[in-house]
Chains A and B, each alone.
Chain A
C-alpha cells in the first residue's frame, strides 16, 4: 500500500452564473485593476488516500468526486494524484 496526495478542484460549470465570481470581479475593478476577465470561484479539497497503485487511487478519487465531492448538475472537477513524499503507509 502506498499513500497518495489527492487534490480535487471543483469549479462551477462553464456558462453557469457564479455570483461570487461576479462580486469579486466587481471588487477588483473597484480597486482599479484593469483588464480583469471573467472570475470564477471554486473550491479545493485535499485528501490523502491509501491504495495499491496510482491508477487505483485515481479511480477511487474519481468515484468520490462523482458521488459526493462535486455536483454534476452545477460543477466540474479536476483531479491531481501524486505519491505522498517519503511516506509509506503502514500495515
Chain B
C-alpha cells in the first residue's frame, strides 16, 4: 500500500511519519513535495507536523495554497484516507477539509510533552484497532493547538460522533488540567463528515516503538492498514 507523506517547506515530522509507516510494515511510504501536482496512485495521504512556510500569517494558511493541495483535496473528496498531524491538522482546517481552526494555546506556551488522549469513536479508518475509550499516551509539540469552532459546529461534531480523540487524565477523565491547550470540548482530533479525513494535534507517529517511550500510536497505523486491506481486497 502506497502512502504519500507530503513535505512542505518547514515540515519537520515528515521523516517521522515515513519512519513509522516503514517500521510498522505493510506500507510503502513515498514523499511528495509541496510543489508536486499529482499524488501518483497512492492509497492514503499524511500531512505531517512542522512549521510549513514558517507558520507565517497563520499556521497552515499558506501551505493550503501549495500545488499539491489541489490533488490532496481531490483525493479526500473521492473518499481517500487523509491524516493531518499537528501542522497537518492546521493545514486541513485552513483548507476547509475540516471545520474550525486552531488558535494559540490558552497558556501561550509551546507545549511539548506526553499527554493522554481517549479514543472516542471506532467508526473511522484510523481507530478501528483500538477499544472505545482506550486511553493512549502520545506526545504533543505545538503552540497553536487550541481547537475552536462555533457552537453549531461543535454540536454537529458531538452529534455525528466525529470527535475522535479527547484530552483526558491518565485515568481517562475530562479534567481541566488534562487539556494542554484550551481546546473546546477537550478536542484532540476530529474527522470530516464522510469520516475519511482525520486531523489531530498529538503525534501518533512518535509513539510507535518501545524506544520512543510509547507504542500507543501504532493502533492508528494498524487501523489504517486494515482499512486499506479491506478496501483493496
Contact = CB atoms under 8 A, between A and B. Distances in A.
A74 B103 CA distance: 8
A19 B183 CA distance: 13
A37 B51 CA distance: 34
B58 interface: yes
Contact of A71 (B61, B106, B146, B150): B61
Contact of A73 (B57, B104, B106, B148): B148
Contacts of A17: 103, 106, 146, 182
Interface string A1-45: 000000000000000110110010000000000000000000000
B65 interface: yes
Contact of A68 (B57, B103, B104, B149): B57
Given A17-B182, A68-B61, A73 B101 contact: yes
Contacts of B62: 68
A19 B106 contact: yes
Contacts of A19: 104-108, 182
Contacts of A20: 104, 108
A55 B219 CA distance: 55
A69 interface: yes
B100 interface: yes
Interface string B57-101: 110011001000000000000000000000000000110000111
Contacts of B182: 17, 19
Name the residue in B57, B100, B105 with the highest tally of chain A Cβ atoms < 10 Å from its Cβ: B57
B63 to A, nearest CB: 12
27 contacts: A16-B103, A16-B148, A17-B106, A17-B146, A19-B104, A19-B106, A19-B107, A19-B108, A19-B182, A20-B104, A20-B108, A23-B108, A68-B57, A68-B61, A68-B62, A68-B65, A71-B58, A71-B61, A71-B94, A71-B101, A73-B99, A73-B148, A73-B149, A73-B150, A74-B101, A74-B103, A74-B148
